[in-house]
A and B are shown apart, each in its own frame.
Chain A
């Protein structure tokens, strides 16, 4: 299992999209803070503190970036290729799916964490307690579970990566909206649990749907 997780992480790490997304995330978030960090606030959200606004922007950025990274970076095998991967490694398809989900989630957590210095800075500007900043950062990690679960689910449903990304982004956006933009420590465990359930179902289904090669390929 460890070997297949390592393999999935290696595949994700090798793609430039992960580091590119991290750079975009940090640049846009920091750019926002530099532009509106003087206390005036963004025009449409003037009543919020600088920290709250930065957090809101972070959530929006992550809702777009995380599904894209998950859809773009995870290993390309699906269908018969996954059956073959299961055969050559003698690992059931469910474990391959779980390994993929773990690797994708770990990578997305890295992207979320890349915005932490900016959020700490925004927190200092707004005199927000460090413990509260850390709490919200932890809550943001639930988005990694949600994004990887939706991206992997759509990946198994549709052939196109672009459609998979759109669908995953919409699903993540819907979840973020339902969680009222910034998931709190109360909602985060619920989101994480729901995402883990979705991953579990996907894995269980893989053992049935990916047990044999498709008949057409014979």
Chain B
């Protein structure tokens, strides 16, 4: 599902990622661990086609993200740490938009997102701009599930959430993994271990 080869990212004079090579298969759940500044968020953004790598190669579901970023974007969904992309929408409308643009069934109908909203405990009529940080994180989690993308990326998915919310997110991620999605999530070095991960990739700070 994900293949990177000697992936590097240099921002200004700073080398954020240096020659990263790894692969994530269908149904894998990989945690990206590492100290702050080790490039976890940058790596997720490169995988999500939101940032261009300086050198190296990245494939998402067999699609080269450098040459075909918009095709790769159909296969991947990143939530957390990058905003929601919309300001003028209600929770229900936001999730319906994602389902309608990404997850149509064979008859061209979007999946029903109401049960997802109920599971994450959000008010469907709330404007997304008025949500708190943790509510936005839950909405992003619901959005990634509504997208039914083959590769799900999460930037610190449990940060700032209480225990019931963490359990809810873990259950949703497990379901996505069970349907074959590959999951990669950045986690804080101090985060408690979670049973969902079957592999860990540890990033170290590269330095200048």
In the assembled complex, which residues on chain A have CB atoms less than 8 Å from the CB atom of B83? 80-81, 84
In the complex the two chains form, is A88's CB within 8 Å of B143's CB? yes
Q: Hey, what's the 0/1 contact readout for B32-55 against A, CB within 8 Å counting as 1?
A: 000000000110010011111000
In the assembled complex, which residues on chain B have CB atoms less than 8 Å from the CB atom of A84? 50, 82-85
Contact A89/B51 with A76-B87, A211-B69 known, Cβ cut-off 8 Å: no
Q: Is residue B147 within 8 Å, beta carbon to beta carbon, of the partner chain?
A: yes
Give chain B nearest CB distance to A128 CB in angstroms. 42
In the complex the two chains form, is B97's CB within 8 Å of A7's CB? yes
In the assembled complex, which residues on chain B have CB atoms less than 8 Å from the CB atom of A21? none
Size of the A side of the interface (Cβ < 8 Å), in residues, is 28
In the complex the two chains form, is A89's CB within 8 Å of B87's CB? no
In the assembled complex, which residues on chain A have CB atoms less than 8 Å from the CB atom of B110? 3
Give chain A nearest CB distance to B60 CB in angstroms. 12
Size of the B side of the interface (Cβ < 8 Å), in residues, is 33
- For A3, A14, A88, which residue has the most chain B Cβ atoms within 10 angstroms? A88
In the complex the two chains form, is B84's CB within 8 Å of A218's CB? no
In this complex, what residue of A is CB-closest to B83? A84
In the assembled complex, which residues on chain B have CB atoms less than 8 Å from the CB atom of A83? 50, 85
- Bound-state CA distance A70–B50 (Å) is 28
Chain A residues near B (Cβ < 8 Å): 3-4, 7, 10-11, 14, 75-77, 80-92, 207, 211-213, 215, 218
Report 11 cross-chain contacts, Cβ distance below 8 Å, ordered by A residue.
A3-B101, A7-B89, A7-B97, A75-B88, A82-B85, A86-B73, A90-B74, A92-B70, A212-B51, A215-B11, A218-B41
